Amino acid sequence: MEGKIIDELKFRSTNNSNVKELIDFIGRIEPDVINHLQQICRFSPEFDSHNIDHSRSVLMNMEKILGDKIAQLSTMELFFCI
């Protein structure tokens, strides 16, 4: 996973083992999330696309809206954005 939000979390993880655990958790669940999103597309074709590309676009749009304010969000707020 990449982007400004994840970059901010990685920066914070250099001095905080709890944030490092969150980063590791994101890495562990990412394949399952991608699989789940594929299942939504497969079993609910009437829905708009909700695949990983859509999720990444939503995250990029959040980053654009937040801009420099990303650094002002708490670690948990950043985590839940993802």
**What percent of the chain has a predicted confidence (pLDDT) above 70?**
100
Average pLDDT, integer, range 16-22? 96
Q: Is the pLDDT of residue 71 over 90?
A: yes
* Domain of residue 39, residue span: 4-81
Return all residues near 78 (Cβ < 8 A) that are at least 6 apart.
5, 8, 9, 70
Q: Do 76 and 70 meet the contact criterion of CB atoms below 8 Å apart?
A: no
Q: In the prediction, which pLDDT does 76 show?
A: 96
Higher pLDDT, 16 or 42: 16
Q: Total domain count for the chain?
A: 1
Q: In the prediction, which pLDDT does 41 show?
A: 77
